[in-house]
Structure 1
Amino acid sequence: MATRTRGDVLLVGSLPFDEASDALRAGGELLGEHLRGVPDGEVGDRKIWIGFLPRTVYRDHPGLDLLRAPEGGVQHQPDAKPDVWEASFLFGIRDGVETLRFDDLGYGRLALESYREYRRLRDEGVIPDGVRFQVCLPGTGSAVSYFFGRIEDWPRAHAAYHDAIRREIEMIAAVVPAAELQVQFDLAMEFVDLAAGEGRGIAHWPGEPLEARIQRHAAYLDELWKGLPDEALLGYHWCYGTWGGWPMKAMPDLGLCVRMSNEAKRRSGRRLDYVHMPVVRDPDEAFFAPLADLDVGDTDVYLGLVHHDDGVAGFNRRAELARRHLPRFGIGAVCGYGRLPAAELPDVLALHRDCADALAAARA
């Protein structure tokens, strides 16, 4: 495929629209030449991200019991940071169920619907040639552990999710040419857990030492990529979450992001194309110091240096600090923009474009 893209900007995933066509058009028109892949915005039922799974998969599953539901039976974005574990559904595997299976997570079907819009917009020239179709999927801890209240159920629930995700990826890859596909896994509740250090990050998760938690979450990376064709791109977004405001947990430096990046590189049984690490609004140089321990070979690194409330000047300040520890990187925001008012998005994406131009000028 011919390309005229720079690939120096990553759109993390969610965009504030009701239709995938609107999200794809916005990415293509406003930022297309800078993108490696364009997401469908995680629209519709996926607007509350992993809140999609209880409503569409878990709640009516014959092998599951509902242990707890949010007030009113629906999760809502809170105005302030909640006790995140108290805001969620919790499920358990029903007695007598030995093997759990999720026949249809919905991600594959919805991706193929969005792909038709992607092809149409690309054929119209709205999405530049060479910009891939980006599919975002939740990591195991976010999609499963967060919603399963009994740790003894986790091995079967995790196995069921990994099997289902592989089938979802295979469904997508049967239609989307590998050269047009980019799959990204988003790990958020995992980082809520890790950021708690030696404390308890989520109430029903085990209160293990930090190293044990890192190994537990890293082990799931052995499975998530399976079924993805070699020519497709694989990336990970290390996410500190926007539930009640970003970040959901304190982020003193990039140490956890670096550690999980190294684990992902080591554990992916195929090429790892990129990782994305969010960056706080006012970091000091020590914030970036863990990048010295980054060991990911030729994997691209996107740093979440774009904060839409302090413009190019704030970006340049953060980028200058980052360059002292990592000479070359791409850029993005800290997370997705699904909860931003849609009217603000054009200015936000224009800022990404201006920041990318500033990055290119600094490299010259």
Structure 2
Amino acid sequence: MTQPQGAHLVGSINFDDAEKTMRTAAGLLGRHLKRIPDGEVGPRFHWILFQPDVIGQAEGLERIGDEPVLVRGLDARPVRIADGVDAASIVLPPLGYADAALESYAVFTRLRDEGAIPAGVRFQVSLPTPVGVVAAFFRGEDRPAIEPVYAVALLGELQRITAAIPHGDLAIQWDVATEFAVLESGGYEETFGGDYSGWFDDQWTELPSRVAALVNAVPTDVEVGVHLCYGDAGEKHFIEPTDAANLTRFANALLSSLDRPLTWVHLPVPIERDDAAYFAPLAELALTGDTELYLGLVHREDGAEGAARRIAAASGVVPAFGVATECGIGRAPDGTTEGILRTHAEVAAAWR
């Protein structure tokens, strides 16, 4: 059986602040990590759920529903373009990602100066895609109208981050989740609305090309990766993938559209899938030697033993990969986070 090399932290981690997140992750995983995130602390704890509170402040946008729908203080009500407003005229406020990144980077550099974070480890910033936010919080014909507006705002956040953080210290991860709800024609219908007609003519062409454009927007001396995801609400996918075929298809379409190297790809592995059939499509994954592959086969519920079964199954198809959880662990039960981090180290060799 292959021993995976290295570990990847997808993004969210169930601690209250960035310092505890980074100090604990570095202490438990050390040289297993090439990059370390801030844990998506504060309002980012539930991925993009804080975005309606931010963009809903823009002139020309309004919330749907009279009463807030609160999730730990965040109002999850969707957003609409107000009647008679041209979407192109809407100017969104700062989205919060750059502010959070710069604040956490200051903590990162202080911990590195103290020796708590090893030299050479990069600071990882996770960002959503415009499709992810727009599909989640807008409806119908508002989606294609507001997507380019949100994309401009999000790329502005990226530009602020890359202007302020030294490129040799930085890694950007694009989180690609809602796209798979669109492609799988299921999963988010009740929550996010399942009718995407009028938005995409060819989903399998347009969605990977949109993510490729985001990757290409990252300066070439900044590392960049993609996290392909089937969601994580209550530690469950919005739909269980039959196998890794659509993940492979999406990754290959993305790779074929890139103008720069892709540093890593992360793919989820459901907890019950330790069979060869799930991993078989990965034989067609068109990664070059420059791109690291991480498989999200670490699960809280069965620890190192379960991860070992999934590693054995994957090893017959992809001989070189690192380990991760299938999504972030920001919503894992309290008290389980350190155990999950230790499992990464138990099943993977440190980077040499």
Cα separation, 2, equivalents of 1:239 and 1:254: 11
By how many angstroms is 1:282 displaced? 2.4
By how many angstroms is 1:88 displaced? 4.8
Question: Quick one: which of 144, 150, 167 aligns to 1:178?
Answer: 167
Question: Quick one: which of 79, 82, 89 aligns to 1:91?
Answer: 79
Paired residue for 2:10? 12
By how many angstroms is 1:24 displaced? 1.2
Question: Quick one: which of 69, 75, 82 aligns to 1:73?
Answer: 69
1:200–1:207 contact (8 Å) kept in structure 2: no
By how many angstroms is 1:48 displaced? 1.6
Paired residue for 2:118? 128
Asked if residue 190 in structure 1 is aligned to residue 179 in structure 2, the reply is: yes
Question: Quick one: which of 212, 223, 226 aligns to 2:213?
Answer: 223
Q: Deviations over 1:106-165 (max 9, x none)?
A: 100110000000000011111111110000011222212211113x22333221222122
Distance 1:258 1:68, change over 3 A: farther
Cα separation, 2, equivalents of 1:304 and 1:98: 38
1:18–1:44 contact (8 Å) kept in structure 2: yes
Higher RCO (C-alpha 8 Å, min separation 6):
2
TM-score (norm 2): 0.89
Paired residues in the alignment total 341
Cα separation, 1, equivalents of 2:35 and 2:92: 28
In the alignment, structure 2 segments of 5+ residues that lack a partner are none
Distance 1:163 1:198, change over 3 A: closer
Cα separation, 2, equivalents of 1:331 and 1:59: 37
Cα separation, 2, equivalents of 1:211 and 1:323: 37
Q: How does 1:133-172 map to 2 (within 5 A)?
A: 133-150=123-140, 152-172=141-161
In the alignment, structure 1 segments of 5+ residues that lack a partner are 1-5, 78-86
Question: Which stretch shows the higher mean deviation, 97-106 or 46-55?
Answer: 97-106
Cα separation, 2, equivalents of 1:107 and 1:75: 20
Residue 45 of structure 1 aligns with an amino acid whose one-letter code is P
2:18–2:107 contact (8 Å) kept in structure 1: yes
| SS at structure 1 position matched to 2:92 | coil
Asked if residue 293 in structure 1 is aligned to residue 284 in structure 2, the reply is: yes
1:258–1:293 contact (8 Å) kept in structure 2: yes
Paired residue for 2:254? 264
Structure 1 runs of 4+ aligned residues shifted over 4 Å read 197-202
Cα separation, 2, equivalents of 1:301 and 1:319: 13
By how many angstroms is 1:76 displaced? 5.8
Q: Deviations over 1:236-257 (max 9, x none)?
A: 1111111133122121111111
Question: Which stretch shows the higher mean deviation, 156-165 or 46-55?
Answer: 156-165
By how many angstroms is 1:189 displaced? 1.7
Cα separation, 2, equivalents of 1:338 and 1:307: 13
Residue 100 of structure 2 aligns with an amino acid whose one-letter code is L
Paired residue for 2:97? 107
Paired residue for 1:335? 327
Q: Deviations over 1:264-312 (max 9, x none)?
A: 2122322111110010122211101111221132321100111122222
